[in-house]
Amino acid sequence: MPRGKGRGNWGKNKGKGRGGGGNNWSTERKSYAEVPKVNEQFERLYNDLNIVPEGEEREQFWAALRRELPNSFRFCGSKGHALAVQKNLDEHFIPQIKSMKFDEQNVEPPMPITWYPNQLAYYMTTPKNVIRKFPPFAAFQKFLVSETAVGNISRQEAVSMIPPLLLDVQSHHTVLDLCAAPGSKSAQLVEMLHAGEESRIRKATKQHQDGQTDPTGAADETVEGNDWSDDGRATGLLVANDVNYQRAQMLVHQVKRLNSPNLIVTNHDATMFPSIELPSDPVPEGQKKQGKWLKFDRILADVPCSGDGTCRKNPNIWKDWIPGNGLGLYITQVRILVRALQMLKVGGRVVYSTCSMNPVENEAVINSAIDRCGGIEKINIVDVSNQLPELKRYPGLKEWKIMDKEGRTWNSWEEVEDAKSKKFEASLERVVSGMFPTPGQTLPLDRCVRVYPHQQDTGGFFITVLEKKSEIRAKPESETKATNNTPSVVSIAKEIVAKPESEGVIPKLETIEDYAPSSNHTVETGTASAAQRQNKEAIEDIEPASNKRGLEDVGDSAAQDIKRARTEKDEGAGPGAIGEVGQMEHWPMPPSAPLRQDEVAAEDATSAAAPRGRRNNQPHEEAFKYLSADHEELDGIFDFYQLSSRFPRDRFMVRNALGNPVKAIYYTTALAKDILTKNEGRGMKFVHSGVKMFVKQDAQGQDICRWRLQSEGLPIVEGWAGENRIIRCYKRETLRKLLIEMFPRVSGEHWKELGEIGEKAKDIGMGCCILRVEPSDQEDGFDERLTLPLWRSISSLNLMLPKEERRAMLLRLFKDESPLIDHSQQPNRKNGPAATADPTVSSTSAPETIIDNSDGGVALNDVDADMEDADATAPIGASGVGTEEDAMATEDALRAEQQVIADEDQVVGAAPEREGEGDEVNTTV
């Protein structure tokens, strides 16, 4: 990717405007951009480290760091129609942008990022304020916003896209993202899990419709990555985790757009992420069952860091950066990486990454973690020089210096020990031996990847790919690597060597006999977390600095919502509300190998981890209750939609504690079900899982199924539905009419106005049905295949899509920005006008009696008055129990909007999630 031209010289403001939200953003951007980009210690450290050669290249390096970062985005490659979105950009918007001028300068159009596979990622050097305020960009801005909202585009920093690509995720892999919020990398990992799935499922359903019982094909089975074990559906799973509950909700907001059933979001401290139990394997009668624990094929450890590589998008780093930023995070980073390696399968990959250029947070962490896990014989640094060949990079450092809090540099641990022996040095209190290179080491640290801003006009980044060669026993942290003289719990906990039993079963590696936590064990306040104890001084001394998980990665619209939410006081955001970890949270301590032990013993050991009630405003544990395969509601659904018996019936769940299908039914993969059910009440904090498949819709009539298909889950199930609920569409004008017009009439002779689908729409029974848009060679035909949910009421038909998705499709497919027309506003309706355009565009507002569902549900009019959407009005069962708490719908969005990013003002910016955890015991192993 070539470097940007003329960055910061746009018009009279000289690049002082930047993107973002807020009412007075022009003034804020001016002060934001005018932060002096000078920091003597920052510049001296990296010049002394000689990370780039002295001379012209070093000047280019510092000049690039002082320029504004280009905007970048990528297309979600796992979704087939994302390619149509990319085609729309290439053929429609880029030619328009090439013809534009701003302040007599030619505007640079979006350009492909050369190293990203299949050219699915783009960057743009035009500043955000120009895109937002310059009228000719209005259509392009709408395109970006609408396609981002529906999940076809993800706005993400370019270097942030690298770690998931180097993980090499396949559709059958189990993947863990340990520090996932705000979710841009998690979304990328989900896309990789589902790569090729659409074509596999289409072939499987086609063979099913043709009467074939075997969904596989000899030719396709030989293709690497093709997974036919579940009728072409991806069988892998992503567990996305964040320690902060509110940030975990933002993570849900990001990844939910991709509608993946192969996802679980959790809320745990990455340094002591608990082991996940799986159902035991069958054993012959008379033998005892043994416990089984999940090991991951791929783990991403994109750890909290000082974030100095992000100073192009976070200029405050120039004034806030101090040497102690990185020193205070080293211990936490090592613990996260060691825990990742413990949970990894033999032969699996861990990618460790930071947006810092400091070797204390990078090569030193790699060196220490490998040393703790048994050395290069156990853990290999993978050479990835042949991957992403267009990506320019530097090798990792083998020698480096340490700068203490006073700005003094130290060449070795011996120098530090000598200085400490002469007098007390407060500035050296957090410097430990593991931060320095090991003398005479043979570790190939040059295989680490360093990306610098001047190479391809990006941010600074560090990536290392590690491979586990054999099972490991992690050494306890030595006293020389502790940051104070008081031994931590990790130095008390013992790790034992375990020899594999028969059949390759590896028992638990840690014991807790000598671990006796005190309920009153606190530090000063009594609520200090493990990380707070480790980083107490850094928290006191270091001013906030933006880190890798800045709001820019979330996308501008979400960032604006959060900024607005910051002005409101969140009464529940006290220390107990943000990722509080109970004393018995991880009891028993997590194993570092696939644990198999007596099932009864496992039950006894985990009895202490039973679900606890809410305390100190802590978010309650979510409910995930699966329906039995023969549940009567599923019987009605399968009969109404004529779903094939080959579609799994045992993966449907609800989100209420009683397990009753009250409002919505969700779908997950088989592995997600095993994890959610086996670990219920065992201390795991699950935040989200499942795709909403069916929503309750009150409707009269004996033959009407009251469960309508939801657009999120429709692509998963539509191929297995019978022809009686399918309406086919081949002409573009037909779909355009259905997108623009809400509730077009089908009663009387009105069905003729619907053209090719009119007769089928007239004859089809009431209730939900499927609109299948088929590709066609006709002049008015489609190049891509689409599937959309329809609702047939007594007198009308309606696409059940949110308004923003209607507009996105109109813009993408037809270049049409026409206002939406709502036919449900009838002239004979009391105090109601005739059919009007969308009230958000036209001057006429809809009557309050019309239900305007965000998910495109059915509105109420005089004819359809008995059809009440359960999402708007909750049915109350005979038992008096209300509706379930639907955390995947409006609650998630509300929490995301209300979250208060107060941690930026409270703790070191590199690890804001550590403030107020409230865990009293550090059980890191």
Known binding-site residues for S-adenosyl-L-methionine equal 179-185, 242, 269, 302
Question: What gap in Å lies between CA 584 and CA 611, rounded to an integer?
Answer: 11
CA 336, 341, 342, 348 torsion-angle sign: positive
Q: Are 736 and 723 in contact (CB under 8 A)?
A: no
Question: What gap in Å lies between CA 713 and CA 691, rounded to an integer?
Answer: 6
The amino acid that residue 218 corresponds to is A
Could you give the angle at the alpha carbon of 528 between the alpha carbons of 526 and 532, nearest 5°? 160
Binding residues: 179-185, 242, 269, 302
In angstroms, the Cα distances linking 112 to 229, 300, 380, 856 are 36, 25, 33, 35
Q: Which residues contact 348 (CB under 8 A, 6 or more apart)?
A: 295, 296, 297, 298, 299, 467, 468
Question: What gap in Å lies between CA 557 and CA 257, rounded to an integer?
Answer: 14
Question: What gap in Å lies between CA 270 and CA 337, rounded to an integer?
Answer: 9
Question: What gap in Å lies between CA 183 and CA 534, rounded to an integer?
Answer: 27
Q: What is the DSSP letter of 68?
A: P
Question: What gap in Å lies between CA 469 and CA 519, rounded to an integer?
Answer: 40
Residue 355 is among the residues annotated as catalytic for this protein: yes
Using only the alpha carbons of the chain, give its radius of gyration: 29
Question: What gap in Å lies between CA 202 and CA 208, rounded to an integer?
Answer: 10
For the chain, the straight-line distance linking the first and the last C-alpha, in angstroms and rounded, comes to 42
Q: Which DSSP string do the residues of 822-838 spell out, in sequence order?
A: ETTS-TTSTT--SSEE-
| The three-state (H, E, C) secondary structure of 106-137, written as one string | ECCCCEECCCCHHHCEEEECCCHHHHHHCHHH
Q: What is the DSSP letter of 199?
A: H
Q: Which residues contact 717 (CB under 8 A, 6 or more apart)?
A: 641, 643, 647, 667, 693, 709
Beta carbons within 10 angstroms of residue 517's beta carbon: 16
Coarse DSSP helix, strand, coil percentages of the chain, rounded to the nearest 5 percent:
35, 15, 50
> Among candidates 678, 506, 515, which has minimal Cα distance to 609?
678
| Catalytic member of 76, 305, 311, 355 | 355
Give me the half-sphere count of Cα atoms (radius 13 Å) on the Cβ side of residue 424. 1
Question: What gap in Å lies between CA 42 and CA 913, rounded to an integer?
Answer: 25
Cα 443 to the chain's mean position, in Å? 33
Exposure string of 680-716, with b = 16+ CB inside 10 Å and e = fewer, is eebbbbbbbbbbbbbbbbebeeeebbbbbbbbbbbbb
Question: What gap in Å lies between CA 853 and CA 187, rounded to an integer?
Answer: 26
Question: What gap in Å lies between CA 711 and CA 856, rounded to an integer?
Answer: 9
> Among candidates 147, 129, 157, which has minimal Cα distance to 12?
129
How many secondary structure helices (H) and strands (E) does the chain include?
30, 34
Q: Which residues contact 565 (CB under 8 A, 6 or more apart)?
A: 897, 898, 899, 900
Three-class DSSP category at 387: coil
Q: Are 294 and 174 in contact (CB under 8 A)?
A: yes
Beta carbons within 10 angstroms of residue 642's beta carbon: 13
CA 665, 666, 670, 672 torsion-angle sign: negative
Q: Which residues contact 848 (CB under 8 A, 6 or more apart)?
A: none
Active site residues: 355
